Chain A
């Protein structure tokens, strides 16, 4: 019997949040197609994650905890997904459009010559079971509707925060099937030498709240130490660390940045929001000292509430904002941090 598959992503033996959103989409599709929803969980802790997947709506799970899958690599993950698709011909495979989801799904769709639509924000299924999806194009400046044209397994990656996860049903369980890996270690040419974990503050795609800094971060009133290589860069870096970060910590937010701030060397590229950076869709986006160039807007315009804090009342960012404060971010942000701590405690 055919099914809808959801590829659940794990990190250090735990499910990644965006996967539960994918299971939400999978549940809806499986119901519409009258087939079971099967979670695929590969790697360390697969069984425990499959049990959580059941609570998010999967009635079956296929797991593989083989040592070759312990540390994520494209080759063994894609080979196993391809084998499962070839053996079982599911109606659709859904995965979050994370770094990993994007490449595993595209690779397996290529292996099986299957249709794939990536970065999906909306999904409809027609009477014959073919999917049509809404997705961004031209760096998010326009949208497109893309339709699957052929029969066979349909590969879909969904954009983070575009769909809601189902509520957790603590009593639900899944029928779990364990399968063998598709590739032996000596058939895998890529080898992971090391992994350096970065503290959670960079995962912008999943963040419910983001506070971003721009060029205006250079207006830090603090004096740079005499031995600073570049006073402007030092001021801006200090501003991200001692002005934005405390607000982010108080709100449980991620720290973002404009391209101008990244290019000026104020903060690493991993924080960049906008074209040539990340596209984000938080509930709350606070833009501090960001003018709001069209490239930046493309990356954050689907945020629910945008707050602009900028000295320049003419800055384009105010045209997108729900709330604006014309003022010095180095005065407003610390005051906001104190107020948040006072009222929300922590």
Chain B
């Protein structure tokens, strides 16, 4: 079974991200890493492709910084990597991203399953994932915490989805797009050999012309990035006395603040 995963490079999760004087988002000299949610998608793709003797392809849509995520993916064990970039993609919104992503999946051809991490932390959304499914015309199963069955011959999938109110078990036909949660697996670390191989890999870059898709005009535009409003830093240490006295003092304060 051939599986495709979309990924991107995002600032390290521990990085302090800020908007600088020019309005640009910066994370100092912190490293970029593979989008943390995507590690689960990559792990699932690698193991499922191996089980079904298929191929796992990782794709990034974006400028060169996203090679970082692609190399990490190859080092983990993804079979092939492709990056898509075109100057026309600068400032692309989710709909444009999804249109291009669907074009990549169609160009690769013979893809049975697209796996995405739950969301991208940089753009802070999952919108594009659902839109890839719609642009492909495939069913979408989101928030998957477990693939219960994956039948390459019958082209069916059965998953458990983690929703606010509980767990839903759903079956669907392939090809399909799924987005996966952290619960689904334990991502592997890249092996030493994997890292060495990935560092030498030449990653092809496709342009829009290679995909035969027409880029829709951006429907939305980021006007500005802003730093978070500063939190009120008033701090009061509740101290002195037994746990019972501390608890009583704390409760007094919480009742004063009217949050109970």
Contact = CB atoms under 8 A, between A and B. Distances in A.
Interface of A: 11, 73-75, 78, 98-100, 102-103, 106-107, 109-111, 113-119, 132, 134-150, 189-198, 202-203, 205, 209, 251, 262, 268-270, 272, 275-277, 283-284, 293-295, 301, 304-305, 307, 318-328, 331-332, 334-336, 338-340, 343-344
Contacts of A269: 145, 162, 181-183
Contacts of B223: 132, 144-147
A259 to B, nearest CB: 9
Interface in B222-249: 222-228, 231-239, 242-244, 246-248
B135 A110 contact: yes
B209 to A, nearest CB: 22
Contact of B225 (A116, A137, A276): A137
Contacts of A277: 182
B226 A144 contact: yes
B166 A339 contact: no
A189 B94 contact: no
Interface string B245-260: 0111011011101011
Contacts of B125: 118-119
B76 interface: no
A145 B259 CA distance: 30
A197 B166 contact: yes
Given A102-B130, A114-B219, A332 B139 contact: no
Given A116-B220, A137-B225, A335 B164 contact: no
Contacts of B200: none
B140 A144 contact: no
Nearest to B148: A193
Interface stretch (B9-17, B50-58, B190-198): B9-17
A344 B253 CA distance: 14
A233 B22 CA distance: 48
22 contacts: A99-B142, A116-B219, A116-B220, A137-B123, A144-B223, A147-B220, A147-B221, A190-B172, A192-B168, A193-B158, A205-B164, A269-B182, A276-B182, A284-B254, A294-B15, A320-B231, A323-B254, A327-B243, A327-B246, A331-B243, A332-B243, A339-B251
B121 interface: yes
Nearest to A138: B17
B228 A301 contact: yes
Contacts of A134: 226
A109 B96 CA distance: 12
B127 A106 contact: yes
B25 A116 contact: no
B171 A191 contact: yes
Nearest to B174: A189
Interface string B118-131: 00011111111111
Contacts of B166: 195-198
Given A137-B25, A325-B250, A113 B95 contact: yes
Contacts of A340: 251, 260
Given A324-B236, A344-B260, A141 B228 contact: yes
A98 B162 CA distance: 12
A78 B131 CA distance: 11
Interface of B: 10-11, 13-19, 25, 36-37, 93-95, 98, 121-131, 133-135, 139-143, 145, 158, 162-173, 181-183, 216-228, 231-239, 242-244, 246-248, 250-251, 253-255, 257, 259-260
B25 A142 contact: yes
Nearest to A147: B223
A26 to B, nearest CB: 19
Given A268-B183, A339-B244, 16 more contacts: A11-B165, A99-B163, A116-B219, A132-B223, A143-B225, A143-B227, A143-B228, A144-B224, A148-B219, A196-B167, A269-B181, A269-B183, A277-B182, A301-B231, A323-B235, A325-B239
A106 B225 contact: no
B88 to A, nearest CB: 16
Contacts of B133: 107
Contacts of A335: 242-244, 246-247
Contact of A103 (B15, B121, B130, B227): B130
Nearest to A11: B165
A116 B224 CA distance: 17
Contacts of B234: 322
A146 B17 CA distance: 19
Query: 9 shortest A-B CB distances, which residue pairs?
Result: A115-B219, A106-B130, A335-B247, A110-B131, A110-B134, A141-B17, A335-B243, A331-B243, A284-B259
A340 B233 CA distance: 26
B170 A116 contact: no
Contact of A145 (B11, B37, B216, B224): B224
A13 to B, nearest CB: 13
Contacts of B247: 332, 335-336, 338-339
Contact of A324 (B15, B141, B235): B235
B165 A197 contact: yes
A237 B194 CA distance: 37
Contacts of A78: 134
B86 to A, nearest CB: 19
A323 B236 contact: yes
Nearest to B11: A138
Nearest to B123: A137
A55 B98 CA distance: 38
Contacts of A148: 219-220
B257 A305 contact: yes
A106 B142 CA distance: 12
